[in-house]
Amino acid sequence: MKAWKRNAIAAAVLVLVCGGIYLNWRYEEAGTVDLVSTLNQEKVLNDALLVMAPSEDSLEALAKQPAQEESAEQTFARLRLSRQQSRDSAVRLLQETISYAGEDEDVSASSLQLDAIVKLSLAEANVESVVISKGYADCVAYMTEEGIDLAVAAKGLSEADVALLSDIVLSQTDYELSQLRIIEVNPD
């Protein structure tokens, strides 16, 4: 009976060792990930400044991109997706910086940038909800350090519409009128 138990234990250990060798072989076959090459270097300007989106990806450029019979809903969905992807990549980069940082200064600076991204996202959502509550079909706000872009679903914005939208943005944010760009997106 003791010999049977000993053989069973030896067989189980042998199976586990062979399984480990097989998994290690599969892992090596897949290759390792080089974090330096996977980080998007275009998003990092230097150690102290993080660029949220390249200038060619501004809301105005995205709203004016030619689309094959894209509806207004699809345009706004594409704008939101682009904004979210940009923010997600910035958050992911900051989280990696925080997790790999060895110094307290790096962690606190990255934490402050992460906090700023969260505050911008909340402010954008607040502006969008107020604009939509004022009767506009849809809108997307994109805030940067340079200013705010506001894409609004409207056909022919009047001076009163621009004044109302400007008032909403100025009351909900710390931006000045010179930092505001309103982009009209035709709802048809």
What is the set of domains in the chain, with CATH numbers? 56-185 (1.10.287.4300)
The kind and range of the H/E element at 50 are: none
Report how far residue 79's alpha carbon sits from residue 153's, in angstroms, rounded to the nearest whole number. 12
Least confident of 5-14, 26-35, 135-144, 177-186: 26-35
Question: 5 or 123: whose pLDDT is higher?
Answer: 123
> What does each C-alpha distance from 3 to 11, 37, 182 come to in angstroms?
12, 54, 83
Question: 187 or 150: whose pLDDT is higher?
Answer: 150
Mean pLDDT of the chain: 74
Listed in sequence order, the residues at least 6 apart from 146 whose beta carbon sits closer than 8 Å to its beta carbon are 179
Q: What is the pTM of this model?
A: 0.57
Burial 149-166 (b: 16+ CB within 10 A, else e): bbbbbbeeeeeebeebbe
